[in-house]
Structure 1
Amino acid sequence: MRLSRRSALLLLAFGVWSWLLWPTFIRNVWDGERSWSAGAPTAYLIVHLVIAFVSLALGTAIGVLGWRGYRASRR
């Protein structure tokens, strides 16, 4: 399957966007009032960290597909 150059750039932009957005989200959740209770992580923190790390993994995979599609469209 071949991606159009436009689709490949969209996927690549999504991957970059994920890496710009989610690390900030992780820092904000980590420092939040609801994230810790008596020094122990709360369910709120754990759930949001799982969401963020899954989103980073998917963003990375989508970005790699976009990069490969972009490189293939240049040939």
Structure 2
Amino acid sequence: MVISKTAARFLVVAGVFNVVIWPRFAKAIVDDDRAWSGERWHSTPQAFFWVHAVLITTAIVIGLGVLVVGVRAHRSASASSSR
């Protein structure tokens, strides 16, 4: 499969976006009172916390995958255009 430089750049931007944005969202979830049964980090995490932890982890892993594909595609497109 051949990916254009423009598509590769889009994948890199999408990957970076996911890697930057989702950890910030994770902080917001940790700070939310619905995530804990009592005091933050000193009480039992609730379902709200675990559901979002799974979603955030999945999004970051997919974002990293997209980033890797984008970087590899961009390198490949750059190498083939310089020949």
- Please classify the TM superposition score into its range, dividing by the shorter chain length: over 0.9
Aligned to 1:29: 29
How far apart, in 2, do the equivalents of 1:74 and 1:67 lie?
Answer: 10
Please state if 1:14 is matched with 2:18. Answer: no
26, 43, 49: which one pairs with 2:47? 43
Q: TM-score, normalised by structure 1?
A: 0.97
Q: TM-score, normalised by structure 2?
A: 0.88
Please give the root-mean-square deviation of Cα atoms over the aligned residues, in Å. Answer: 0.6
Q: Which has the larger radius of gyration?
A: 2
Structure 2: tracts of 5 or more residues without a match: none
Give the 4+ runs in structure 1 shifted more than 3 A.
Answer: none
- Greater relative contact order, per chain length (Cα 8 Å cut-off, separation 6+): 1
**The structure with more strand, counted as a fraction of residues:** 1
Paired-residue identity, %: 31
How far apart, in 1, do the equivalents of 2:22 and 2:28 lie?
Answer: 10
Q: How many residues align?
A: 75
